[in-house]
Every structure is written in structure tokens, then in C-alpha cells.
Copies of this chain bind each other. A is one copy, B any other.
Amino acid sequence: MSEEEKAGIGHNSDNTKDVGGIAGQRLQSFIGRIERMEEEKTALAEDVKEVYAESKGVGFDVKIIRKLVSLRKMDNEKRREEEELLDLYMTAVGMS
């Protein structure tokens, strides 16, 4: 990946400064930031997979762990939504 960065922003050889001016540089900066974050996300996703693999390696059932994680997540979301609903009710009743 470092090659591409050194080479410019893309798959062609044009230098950005010449054609895009200051806006082009700015755009490059945005794209660079986004791409770095996306890479981190990908890395994390891989780490998660490794953890599942490890858990499987010590005898756990991956499917079950997934369900557990999923249920815990649903719990949190449900709780959050219920709180929001309560807020809505209170607002509707003028108790906000």
C-alpha cells in the first residue's frame, strides 16, 4: 500500500497539484484519512475472526458464541430503544 501512496493517489501518474489545485490536495487528504480508518476496521474484523477461531480451538462452539454475542447486543439495543421510547412518551406528555 505504501507504494500507491508514494506514487500519488491513484492508479495513474498525474500529479494532483497540477490539475486539482488546493481542492485536489484537500480531497486527497480526506480520502487518505478514510482509507486509513477502513484499514483499521478491516484489521479489527480479522482480529475478531481470530478470536472466534481461538475459541473454537479450545473447544467452544462458535455458533453458540455468536448467538450469545448477538443476543447481548440485542439486549443493549433494546434497552436503548426502550429508553428512547420513554423519552418520547415524556415529551408527548409534557414532562420533558
- B-contacting residues of A (Cβ < 8 Å)? 1-2, 4, 8-12, 14-16, 18-20, 23-24, 26-28, 30-31, 33-35, 37-38, 40-41, 44-45, 47-48, 51-52, 54-55, 58, 60-61, 63-65, 67-79, 81-82, 84-86, 88-96
Give the CA-CA distance A2 to B76 in the complex, in Å.
Answer: 11
**Hey, which chain B residues are within 8 Å of A51, CB to CB?**
30, 33-34, 37
Q: Which of A58, A65, A68, A81 has the most CB of B within 10 A?
A: A68
Chain B residues, Cβ within 8 Å of A4: 72, 75-76, 82, 86
Chain B residue at minimal CB-CB distance from A58: B26
